[in-house]
Amino acid sequence: MALTAITLLCIAALLPFPGLGDSEHSGELGLVLVKVNVTNKFTNKNVSYSTTVAKGMPMFGVLNKLQDTQSFSFTYSISKSYGIFLESVNGLAGSTEKHTYWELLSKKGKTITRLNVGIGCYQPRENEIFIMNFTTWG
């Protein structure tokens, strides 16, 4: 029940952003520069992206803008219980059989923190790097 309420709140947070990155909505709340690093634990590959979006925009909107404007792609699914779930980045998907997934991290200064919410709820801040790290569990 609590997770359903949280999911609904996160989805409701998307409502003020009908374009999820359209330039006509970007000036309404001020702008923030968002830096995104895509890393792969297994290949030591690291690709960086950046874009400017409306302050308060969820990462889902940021990722959609990156997908529309840069050589970046992602896929997702929507769970009725948990909201938006990141499935793949730049063609690389997590696997239950291989125990791989996209770990979501935030780097502020020298501190890296694992996020406790997904791309539908997380709102990046100025001077922060959002990290999507392809890794394994177990």
Q: Measure the CA–CA gap between 7 and 95, rounded to whole angstroms.
A: 24
Q: Measure the CA–CA gap between 3 and 110, rounded to whole angstroms.
A: 32
What CATH number should be reported for the domain holding residue 60? 2.170.130.30
**What region does 8 belong to: left with phi over 0, alpha with psi -120 to 50, or beta?**
alpha
Q: Structurally, how many domains does the chain consist of?
A: 1
Q: What is the pLDDT of residues 96-113, one digit of tens each?
A: 999 999 999 999 999 999
Q: What domain range is 44 assigned to?
A: 2-136
Mean pLDDT of 19-42: 73
Nearest to 61 by CA among 8, 104, 18: 18
pLDDT of residue 101: 96
Nearest to 16 by CA among 51, 50, 54: 54
Q: What is the pLDDT of residues 45-69, one digit of tens each?
A: 999 999 999 999 999 999 999 999 9
